[in-house]
Chain A
């Protein structure tokens, strides 16, 4: 639905749908820091943009929310860049191939994903932040850590590894119960994904049981990381519109430095 205002000053313009277009807000700069040693030679003080992360399982509504946030942010005059897992120029193809064959063992897989992450961090995220963009990350190091933790890797080792990562300005974890995830995955794809069911762990020969068991473990590890990293847990069982609303409010308050 399109509505037109008579004059720009009378009421704010409305873009298509429900995205409100308000006055351009200039975000307050906040200090950035790396979790560990960071990237050699990168000065976090020069990273003036904002890094917003949306975490959650497949079917938790991540991409829908990111899409809506991008529209809203651009409507508010912010330049955006999107990143996600397995999108690096350096190793994404090789990672895809490795996943097909399921031939890599866990440390190798873990480091392979870390390479992919670091490549995007250095070539996309950091340059965009330096240029003052709002970077939206469709998952970040937490998903990678959780997957490895469920597979028995040590937290300390992972924290050292991801000491290269920049601490985001906001992390939203869309928490959806495994039972609800099953329904959403079936509604969308009619099948459960091999990796999202944790079949490599041999939890159960039954894919349905394995999915529920695996997603339960993943959710548990996310909550454990939440204690450490303090990200916002968003009730992903709510309607998409209600979630968008919540995310916008939180982002607004971060941008205004509260």
Chain B
């Protein structure tokens, strides 16, 4: 079993949020970031799939629908490795609290739904330690779907899992794909010590719980910035 950053003796801590699109996880991690910034803590926020260099290849692959489950998995692993080695790792060495909107579990869930062998995917990502805390925002499938389908009716090809051929109707494909992702997340929940959050609750109720749990687990005062 992989170790966490704390177990490996890193001065920094990594907190990850995971969940389906529309589970409200990004809102929650944003509020955690603001909470920490306002306390002048050394905090850094990182999003899945945001590195500049690999983005070019990813979007080319996506727009031309060139990606297979294997190359989809590998290009995202490349992207993650780039972000991990150049950004997350140095920050964690420097004693930052790093907040990740999605971490390796997103890859585990997506790639496995696409048919990649779980051991293979996990083996590839085993250069990355586990988060010190992982919040999983569990909303009912209908709630997640409605949030996404109401707000942003134009679904993207891969996001809707169209490559899986579950349905030729993109909305239906999205529903089925999200359902399968949810199964994957729930199956990982115990193994990786997810803190399961009831994402059907109000934003404030969830944030109160998240803040309380973080403050109980991490000595926040030790992360006060001494530079500006």
Q: Which residues of A are interface residues toward B (Cβ below 8 A)?
A: 36-37, 39-41, 89-91, 94, 97-98, 103-108, 110-112, 114-115, 118-119, 122-123, 157, 160-161, 163-164
> Which residue on B lies nearest to A122, using beta carbons?
B68
Is the beta-carbon distance between A94 and B66 smaller than 8 angstroms? no
Number of CB contacts from chain A to chain B under 8 A: 84
**Docked complex Cα distance between A51 and B117 (Å):** 24
Tell me if A105 and B120 are in contact (CB < 8 A).
no
The 5 closest A-B pairs by CB, nearest first: A160-B123, A40-B115, A105-B85, A111-B78, A115-B74
For A103, A119, A161, the residue with the greatest tally of chain B CB atoms inside 10 Å of its CB is A119
Contact A105 B75 (CB under 8 A): no
- Given the interface pairs A39-B70, A41-B115, the reply to whether A157 lies near B75 with Cβ below 8 Å is no
- Tell yes or no: B86 within 8 A of A by CB: yes
Docked pose: A23 CA to B114 CA in angstroms: 46
The size bracket of the interface on B is 20 to 34
**Nearest CB of chain B from residue A100's CB, rounded to whole Å:** 12
**CB-defined contacts of B78 to chain A, threshold 8 Å:** 108, 111-112, 114-115
CA distance A107 to B126 in the complex (A): 11
Excluding A40-B115, A40-B116, A105-B82, 12 further A-B contacts by CB distance (< 8 Å) are A90-B60, A94-B54, A94-B57, A97-B53, A98-B53, A107-B81, A108-B86, A112-B54, A114-B78, A118-B70, A118-B74, A119-B66
CA distance A98 to B71 in the complex (A): 18
Q: Select one of B69, B74, B86, B124 contacting A40, CB under 8 A.
A: B69
CB–CB B74/A107 < 8 A: no
Cross-chain pairs A/B with CB under 8 angstroms, 17 sampled: A37-B117, A40-B69, A40-B116, A41-B115, A90-B57, A90-B60, A90-B61, A90-B66, A90-B71, A94-B54, A105-B81, A107-B85, A118-B71, A118-B74, A122-B70, A157-B127, A161-B123
CB closest residue in chain A, given B55: A94
Contact pick for B71, options A36, A97, A119, A161, CB 8 Å:
A119
State whether A107 and B68 are in contact (beta carbons under 8 Å apart), knowing that A40-B116, A94-B57 are contacts in the complex: no
Chain B hits for A41, CB < 8 A: 115
B84 touches A107 (CB 8 A): yes
Bound together, the chains give a CA A107 to CA B115 distance in angstroms of: 24
Cα–Cα distance between A37 and B75 once the two chains are bound (Å): 18
Within 8 A of A (CB), among B81-123: 81-82, 84-86, 114-117, 119-120, 123
A32 to B127: give the CA distance in the assembly, Å.
Answer: 31
Whether A122 lies near B56 (C-beta < 8 A) is no
Which of A97, A108, A161: most chain B CB closer than 10 A? A108
> Judging by beta carbons under 8 Å apart, are A111 and B126 in contact?
no
B77 within 8 A of A: yes
Residues of A with C-beta under 8 A to B56: 94
The reply to whether B57 and A105 contact each other, CB–CB distance below 8 Å, is no
Q: How far is the CA of A243 from the CA of B77 in the complex (A)?
A: 40
Residues of B within 8 A of A106 (CB): 85
A98 CA to B57 CA in the complex, in Å? 12
Contact call A37/B120, Cβ cutoff below 8 A: yes
Bound complex: CA A118 to CA B61 (Å): 13
Give chain B residues whose Cβ lies under 8 Å from the Cβ of A123. Answer: 66
B115 touches A108 (CB 8 A): no
Q: Once the chains bind, are B82 and A114 in contact (CB under 8 Å)? A: no
Cβ–Cβ contact B114 & A40, under 8 A? yes
Let me know if B68 and A39 touch, CB within 8 A. Answer: yes
Q: How far is the CA of A91 from the CA of B54 in the complex (A)?
A: 9
